[in-house]
């Protein structure tokens, strides 16, 4: 008699919620259906958009007979790493001028977070210190917790961020949690366009946050997934990261080029490392090289070449910034149109937070029963938290979505 499978004890893991939501949407046959769940840009026709500058650069790369498919260095394409760190920190960054910045090409922003987390667990606040507290905003992107847990950290804590009553930032709670955090704790900060709330600190509030973190010896680990995509301005969206660098912080910044280049499946990310001096940064990079070697060994070239070619050519860079602004402006338009419709319909509650928030996502304030009604009765797919992707709105479905929200809010107070 054949023995049972050695994998028989393995339980089935629950599906990843946002991807399951998309699968449910695809299977839905209702013609009214709307997908407000997926974290990707869509045109007003509801279609993915390949940026015109990306198409141009892809053709340029295809026609370049000097390129081949040899391995890249373990840390990645040098010109990609340098140009990626430069747009995060700015052309006039004192850290770049002093050669105390390094970059690691990673598999998307998630890969950058994982390499950074793995390094910090091995080498930060002692050697292999799994007890260093890691603070993640409440709420946050669901993968943040998992990345740090899987890197070996044992003490994952939440810091207050969202004030549900006023539908905005809980600055007082945030600062209190930083004040009470043990020294050398790691704080994961959203550089801009906070996911899922769309609520960012003001410049003055960022200064308050930095002051507390400096005094309490807390380590900033920025996640920058939406630079340029949030406001339409690269410099404005990088302001917090650059301010922290100007204040003398050593920090990590995980960058993703999925959203602002539309390169979702190319997995293009960079981990920018800012240290106190050049030698220190080189030591950090040497250890990160060891980590990368055992995870993916060498990164892929195509996406990195697209980004590097674009960022290092003035004409292409200008065209890219225009493409990014096109996406950001559409999102801003959908925000104002949705708010206007909700208010015109007399939807119960206040809706100014829709336009006060920024970036791809909006935390609508809808409760679980209202969300369930939206999904099951109206065929509008959104996260259980009430988060919606503003890019899923179009001029064709705005009226339907707005009236459905009004219906849900009226039925389930």
**Residue 124's CB: how many other CB atoms inside 10 A?**
20
Q: Please answer whether residues 206 and 212 qualify as being in contact, where contact means their C-beta atoms are separated by less than 8 angstroms.
A: no
Is residue 102 helix, strand or coil? Answer: strand
**Environment class of residue 208 by beta-carbon count within 10 Å: exposed (0-12), middle (13-18) or buried (19+)?**
middle
The active-site residue, picked from 49, 259, 320, 351, is 259
Instruction: For residues 209 and 187, give the distance between their C-alpha atoms in angstroms, rounded to a whole number.
Output: 11
User: 129-151 in b/e burial notation, b at 16+ Cβ within 10 A?
Assistant: beebbbbbbebbbebbbebbeeb
Catalytic residue from among 141, 162, 320, 351: 141
Strand partners, 252: 221, 273
Catalytic residue at 329?
no
**Active-site annotation holds for 141:** yes
- In angstroms, the CA 382 to CA 39 distance is 11
Residues with Cβ within 8 Å of residue 231, at least 6 apart in sequence: 192, 237, 328, 358
State the catalytic residue, choosing from 170, 177, 200, 223.
223
As to burial, measured by CB atoms within 10 angstroms (0-12 exposed, 13-18 middle, 19+ buried), residue 82 is middle
Give the catalytic positions in this structure: 141, 223, 259
């Amino acid at each position: 008699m054949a023995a049972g499978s050695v994998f028989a004890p393995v339980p089935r893991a629950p599906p990843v919620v946002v991807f399951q939501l998309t699968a449910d949407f695809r299977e839905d046959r209702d013609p009214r259906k709307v997908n407000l769940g997926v974290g990707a840009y869509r045109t007003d026709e509801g279609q993915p958009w390949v940026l015109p500058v990306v198409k141009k650069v892809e053709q340029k790369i295809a026609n370049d007979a000097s390129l081949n498919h040899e391995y890249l260095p373990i840390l990645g394409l040098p010109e990609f790493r340098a140009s990626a760190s430069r747009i995060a920190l700015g052309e006039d960054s004192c850290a770049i001028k002093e050669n105390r910045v390094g970059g690691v090409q990673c598999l998307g922003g998630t890969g950058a977070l994982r390499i950074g987390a793995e390094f910090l667990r091995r080498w930060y606040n002692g050697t292999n210190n799994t007890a260093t507290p890691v603070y993640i905003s409440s709420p946050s992107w669901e993968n943040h917790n998992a990345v740090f847990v899987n890197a070996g950290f044992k003490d994952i804590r939440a810091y207050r961020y969202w004030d549900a009553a006023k539908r905005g930032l809980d600055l007082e709670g945030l600062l209190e949690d930083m004040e009470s955090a043990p020294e050398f704790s790691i704080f994961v900060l959203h550089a801009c366009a906070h996911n899922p709330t769309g609520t960012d600190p003001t410049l003055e509030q960022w200064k308050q946050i930095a002051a507390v973190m400096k005094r309490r010896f807390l380590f900033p680990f920025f996640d920058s997934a939406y630079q340029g995509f949030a406001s339409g301005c690269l410099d404005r969206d990088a302001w917090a990261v650059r301010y922290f660098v100007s204040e003398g912080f050593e920090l990590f910044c995980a960058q993703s080029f999925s959203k602002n280049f539309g390169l979702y499946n190319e997995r293009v990310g960079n981990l920018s490392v800012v240290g106190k001096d050049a030698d220190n940064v080189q030591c950090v990079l040497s250890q990160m090289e060891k980590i990368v070697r055992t995870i993916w060994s060498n990164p892929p070239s195509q996406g990195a070449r697209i980004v590097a070619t674009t960022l290092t050519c003035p004409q292409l860079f200008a065209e890219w910034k225009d493409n990014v602004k096109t996406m950001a402006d559409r999102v801003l338009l959908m925000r104002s149109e949705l708010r206007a419709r909700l208010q015109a319909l007399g939807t119960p509650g206040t809706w100014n937070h829709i336009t006060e928030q920024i970036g791809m996502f909006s935390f609508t304030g809808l409760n679980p029963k209202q969300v369930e009604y939206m999904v099951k009765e109206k065929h509008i797919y959104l996260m259980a938290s009430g988060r919606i992707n503003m890019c899923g709105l179009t001029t064709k479905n705005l009226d339907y979505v707005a009236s459905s929200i009004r219906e849900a809010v009226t039925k389930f107070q």
